[in-house]
């Protein structure tokens, strides 16, 4: 790639689209080299550790260069696209996409390579708390042309079995030598192969290429690993055959049996979730308490509210009343809505409630929250929950919506389980798990009758919430769900 020193070229850098984020993955480009863009036009979509976000360009001009292909994780502050603000189209499009990690533009990939990298369909996103799956995992339509990206030149069969058909040998009698021996300044390999080599500790300059035009393949990298485990062969020795005994380090064993194992890179939402859960579980001493409650009257109230004109067009379900019950319980037990400040050794009591609702999406678990939920009327709360559902289904939940939560609800009952022991989101002191609502025999007014019953579980940070406080809050939630009229007398 040519270094651009023209004063008319503007470099657009990866912004921090959330508080303190350090990197983001480029999910999709909506423009390509030579396209004309205007100030505010969305040029790409990136995924951070919290959400997928569209990035608008702040310039008018012509796209001179795309610095990275789709699927690349880029540090905040790194240039990702170059715009010629003079309005002149580039003299010629780049002939080939460089593969240097710091500046790799998007280039057209062969049709076979594009087909080999088809992504499997994601599972239906489920809002944990609503009991309904999204009807579609499709994103909303985007404007702008589809941009093919350079992808790994391996077939689907190669990915599954770890072996692919031997490439055609253009010159059978010519010896194949590593790039360094052939005098090449840089070995030819595509980004996924370079990453594999880096992970396995293989110097590409020492690898014998077997791909067309001297391109190093995944199999070449694996062969190089095998060669380092066996006695050092001569430079011209043929690669180890598949039937030969292979000694593989334990860390790389999965590379040789891809049909039996699949390695999924930990990144994006999954990476953030893992780090947050480990940090929370090993920082806050968790205590979980349980209560089983008859919610028959609550379900009856739900059906009545559906007929109320104030709720026309709004989503009304048990979660709405469970959320309201928790808000009332917090009002009666305000010290449960707090956090632990380790640095200053203080308990931070919060006089507002940002109510988090855990949601399972194809990208992983997210917990958007309703800001100042304690100030909402029941219809307003229903509207906020409905909007949360829509944005979660469409993958449009913003980083801001997932920041600043104080208390969370997670509805594991939508998966048919009775309850769970949830882990606290970092910075929060309590999380309520709601189990499946089932028709069960229950003693009601001195007689055994079939009633709608569920089990609630409240996990809390025992550093600042004692058993008495946690028990009172959980008991209040249960009492409201058993006798919904307490929403009037206690609110």
User: Which residues are catalytically annotated?
Assistant: 462
Torsion angle (degrees, nearest 10) of CA 22, 26, 30, 34: 90
- Measured from the Cβ of residue 388, the count of other Cβ atoms closer than 10 Å reads 23
Residue whose entry in the numeric block shows the structure tokens 């040029």? 43
- Cα 197 to the center of its chain, rounded Å: 25
As a whole number of angstroms, the distance between CA 153 and CA 111 comes to 10
Which of 429, 453, 431, 432 is CA-nearest to residue 441? 453
Q: Which neighbouring-strand residues pair with 75?
A: 23
| Three-state SS annotation for the chain | CCCCCCCCEEEEECCCCCCCCCEEEEEEECCCCCCEECCCCEEEEEECCCCEEEEECCCCEEEEEECCCCCCEEECCCEEEEEECCCCCCCCCCCCCCCCCCCCCCCCCCHHHHHHCCCCCCCCCECCCCCCECCCCCCCCCCCCCCCCCCCCCCHHHHHHCCCCCCCCCCCCCCCCCHHHHCCCCCEECHHHHHHHHHHCCCHHHCCCCCHHHEECHHHHHHHHHHHHCCCCCCCCCCCCCCCCCCCCHHHHHHHCCCCCCCCCCCHHHHHHHHHHHHHHCCCCEEEEEEEEECHHHHHHHHHHHCCHHHCCCCCCHHHHHHHHHHHHHHHCHHHCEEEECCCCEEEECCCCCEEECEEECCEEECCEECCHHHCCHHHHHHHHHHHHHHHHHCCCCCHHHCCCCEEEEEHHHHCCCCCCCCCCCCCCEEEEECCCEEEEEEECCEEEEEEEEEEEEEEECCCCCHHHHHHHHHHHHHHHHCCCHHHHCC
User: What are the backbone dihedrals phi and psi of residue 271, each rounded to the nearest 5 degrees, phi first?
Assistant: -65, -45
Spell 461-482 as b/e; 16+ CB within 10 A means b.
beebbeeebbbebbbbbbbbbb
């Amino acid at each position: 790639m040519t270094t651009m020193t023209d004063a008319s070229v503007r470099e657009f850098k990866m912004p921090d689209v959330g508080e303190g984020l350090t990197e983001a993955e480029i999910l999709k480009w909506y423009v390509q080299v030579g396209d004309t863009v205007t100030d505010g036009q969305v040029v790409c979509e990136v995924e951070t550790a919290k959400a997928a976000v569209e990035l608008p360009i702040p310039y008018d001009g012509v796209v001179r260069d795309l610095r990275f292909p789709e699927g690349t994780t880029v540090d905040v502050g790194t240039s990702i696209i170059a715009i010629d603000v003079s309005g002149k189209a580039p003299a010629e499009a780049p002939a080939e996409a460089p593969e240097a990690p710091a500046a790799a533009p998007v280039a057209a990939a062969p049709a076979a390579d594009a087909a080999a990298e088809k992504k499997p369909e994601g599972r239906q996103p489920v809002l944990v708390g609503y009991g309904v799956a999204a009807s579609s995992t499709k994103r909303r339509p985007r404007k702008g042309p589809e941009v093919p990206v350079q992808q790994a030149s391996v077939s689907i069969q190669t990915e599954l079995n770890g072996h692919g058909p031997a490439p055609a040998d253009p010159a059978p009698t010519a010896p194949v030598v590593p790039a360094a021996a052939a005098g090449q300044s840089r070995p030819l390999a595509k980004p996924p192969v370079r990453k594999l080599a880096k992970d396995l500790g293989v110097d590409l300059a020492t690898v014998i290429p077997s791909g067309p035009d001297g391109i190093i393949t995944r199999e070449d990298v694996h062969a190089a690993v095998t060669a380092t485990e066996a006695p050092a062969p001569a430079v011209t020795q043929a690669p180890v055959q598949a039937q030969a005994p292979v000694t593989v380090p334990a860390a790389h064993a999965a590379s040789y049996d891809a049909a039996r194992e699949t390695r999924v890179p930990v990144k994006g939402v999954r990476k953030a979730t893992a780090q947050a859960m480990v940090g929370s579980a090993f920082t806050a001493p968790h205590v979980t308490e349980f209560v089983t409650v008859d919610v028959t009257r609550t379900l009856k109230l739900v059906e009545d509210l559906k007929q109320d004109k104030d709720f026309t067009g709004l989503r009304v379900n048990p979660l709405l009343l469970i959320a309201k019950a928790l808000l009332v319980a917090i009002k009666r037990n305000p010290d449960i809505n707090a956090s632990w400040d380790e640095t200053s050794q203080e308990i931070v009591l919060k006089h507002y409630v940002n109510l988090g609702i855990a949601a399972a999406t194809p990208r992983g678990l997210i917990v958007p929250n309703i800001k100042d939920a304690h100030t909402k009327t029941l219809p307003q709360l229903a509207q906020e929950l409905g909007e949360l559902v829509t944005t979660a289904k469409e993958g449009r939940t913003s980083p801001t919506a997932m920041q600043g939560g104080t208390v969370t609800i997670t509805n594991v009952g939508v998966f048919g389980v009775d309850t769970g022991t949830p882990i606290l989101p970092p910075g929060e002191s309590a999380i309520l798990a709601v189990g499946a609502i089932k028709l069960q025999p229950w003693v009601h007014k001195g007689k055994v009758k079939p009633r709608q019953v569920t089990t609630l579980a409240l996990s809390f940070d025992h550093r600042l919430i004692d058993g008495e406080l946690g028990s009172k809050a959980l008991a209040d939630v249960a009492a409201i769900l058993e006798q919904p009229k307490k929403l009037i007398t206690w609110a």
